[in-house]
Amino acid sequence: MHKVTLFLAMGCFLLGSFGSELQAEQKVLGIQQCIQIALRQNSQLRNAERRVRIAGAGVTSAWSFILPVVNSSFSSTRTYQSEQGPFLQEIPVGIDPVTGKMIIMQKEVVLESYYRNTYSGSISLSQNIFDGGQWWNRIKQANAEYRAAEYDYHAIKQAVITEVTQKYFELLKAIKLEKVYQKAAELAKEQLKKTQSMYEVGVAAQVDVYKAQVSLGTEQINLIQQRNRVDIARSNLNVVLGRSPGSPLEIADEEIELEPFTLTLEDAIRIAVQNNPEVMSYQENLRGSDFGVKVAKGNYWPKLRLNLSYGRFNTLLERFYKGLDRNYQVSGSLSLSFNIFNGFQTRAAVEQASVNYAIAKENLLEKQRAVQMQVEQAYLNLKAYQQIARINEQNLKSAEEDLRLAQESYKIGSGTLLEVIDAQVALTRARTILVGTKYDGLIALVQLYSAMGTIESKLQKVFQQLNVE
């Protein structure tokens, strides 16, 4: 009995845990939550952040070329000398009373073993005075590389935000279009019932029933295809969120309105060239390459360096650290070195740096052209969708009225079923265009703001409005 109770309790716990996990997975996500998940999961963004830290360490390292280098050392040595000898050694033994000279005799001498302690310590300073401008150009180069890494981080972040927003709108668009095709299928099904009823009472021909059946089948096929597009759009959004393509995902049906675009194409291109993080990263890379050329040319200049040192030495520890006015040595030097010939290393380094600068300049120009093209394409697409939307508003009203009139005419026998079906198709097309232009226009606007480098600020305003609501 106790075992059964235990198993039941464990089963309830596991079911409850599974249910909570499933509920967490099926949580309805808004666009802000989707962007947060993608930014948290994106490995490229995390690596870009690490590269920023590496570049920051490079700036710190660049300062080492001008900051003084201070070294200190201390050593304590104990030496043992074993007994030496015997060996002959000339030793003074006295003074000749006649000549007054010292009397030297050779005797066997044995030197006893002994221990000796020695203590030494020193501190030295080496300071770069002049190196042809290399130190400050290295610092400027490192700062440029750091800023380039920061812009790369923002570029990747913006790309993630743009891709998530685009996939989010594509999924919303697919869901909305599914509803349009669902309505079209329901309308075709309703028309089939009406046609069958009219056929049964002899008002409609059997061929009309067949046409209505074909129309319903066509709309059902369109609905099936659109449901497949919804699944594909959901999988695409899951992937950019860093999740499995088949993960359960439900998004909120949010009415998202981005700030209307009122600038001219010329102003949009100008802002993009100034603000786009990728362009700014390439600009900083160009500056860094320019400073790299100056660093390489610095080897043509003489180098001036100051060296100072202070050292102490004694065989007694007490004398080593006391009496600082004695038993020490101070030295200083000012060295000037000039590179006369180093096997063309400097020339090769300057040439390599110059080529790197030319490559960086070409990359910048290419990126500017690419961004200008992105802005122009997004701008033209946006304007086209806006024009289509305005035209389609009237088309939708006309299609609704045309369907109503066609149905009424068919009921009283003055119209044909083909006219009704054509009106239904026209209405579905108008509704499809309405949904498509709305979200395609939003996607074009997102792409335009992304190319201009302002997508984050624009979406922040949207998030604030959604949170207030």
Boundaries of CATH 1.20.1600.10 in the chain? 30-67+131-302+343-468
Residue (of 454, 434, 452) closest to 385 by Cα position: 434
pLDDT, position 10: 40
Give the pTM. Answer: 0.81
pLDDT, position 467: 66
If the chain, 469 residues long, is cut into consecutive pieces of 10 residues, what is the mean pLDDT of each piece? 38 40 62 94 94 97 94 88 76 80 78 82 94 95 98 97 96 96 94 91 89 94 97 96 93 82 94 96 98 95 95 78 80 93 93 97 97 97 93 92 91 86 93 94 95 92 70
CA-CA distance, 419 to 431, in Å (whole number)? 18
CA-CA distance, 243 to 249, in Å (whole number)? 10
Homologous superfamily of 30-67+131-302+343-468: Outer membrane efflux proteins (OEP) (1.20.1600.10)
